[in-house]
Amino acid sequence: MEGDRKRQKTETNGGQKGQKETEKETEKETEKETEKETEKETGKTEKETQKETEKETEKETEKETGKTEKETEKETEKETEKETEKETKETEKEAEKETEKETEKETEKETQEETEKETEKETGKTEKETAKEAEKETEKETEKETLTWR
């Protein structure tokens, strides 16, 4: 009966599509049959066998390492926390350094502005005006030297 149904599907769907579906169904059926046979032989389902295998693996690991899976997980968690804490501290230090640099720049700028204001009060001229005058004097001296040379 099942064979008829499969053949019918192959004929109705036509070609490869029907063939692929038939192959999938056959695979599933074979898998189920294998599971049933295994269950008959061992008296256990696949899930039960998996659980037993996991327990055995855990026991073997515990013998080898001297630690249970939970202990290993806790250690890993602690290590991860330490690494995260370390990274956080490094990031905080970097941010602190940046802040210090910015503060230093601001302080330098403020100091420079104050110095300029004081100079302006004392001389009655701005720094730019003083710089222009100095430049003019330098030009005059250069001109004198050039004339003297000739």
Per residue, what are the HEC states of the chain?
CHHHHHHHHHHHHCHHHHHHHHHHHHHHHHHHHHHHHHHHHHCCCHHHHHHHHHHHHHHHHHHHHCCCHHHHHHHHHHHHHHHHHHHHHHHHHHHHHHHHHHHHHHHHHHHHHHHHHHHHHHHCCCHHHHHHHHHHHHHHHHHHHHHHHC
Q: Is residue 96 part of a domain?
A: no
Q: Is residue 130 part of a domain?
A: yes
Average predicted confidence (pLDDT) for the chain:
84
Which band of pLDDT confidence, cut at 50, 70 and 90, is reported for residue 145? confident
Q: Is residue 114 part of a domain?
A: yes
The pTM of the full predicted model, rounded to 2 decimals, is: 0.38
Q: Is residue 128 part of a domain?
A: yes
Q: Is residue 120 part of a domain?
A: yes
Question: Which residue is associated with the tokens 């899976």?
Answer: 69
What pLDDT shows up at residue 46? 79
Question: Which residue is associated with the tokens 């389902």?
Answer: 45
Q: Is residue 70 part of a domain?
A: no
Q: Is residue 12 part of a domain?
A: no
Q: Is residue 81 part of a domain?
A: no
Q: Cβ(22)–Cβ(12) under 8 Å?
A: no
More confident residue, 20 or 3: 20
- Count of domains in the chain? 1
What pLDDT shows up at residue 4? 61
Domain that holds residue 111: 106-139
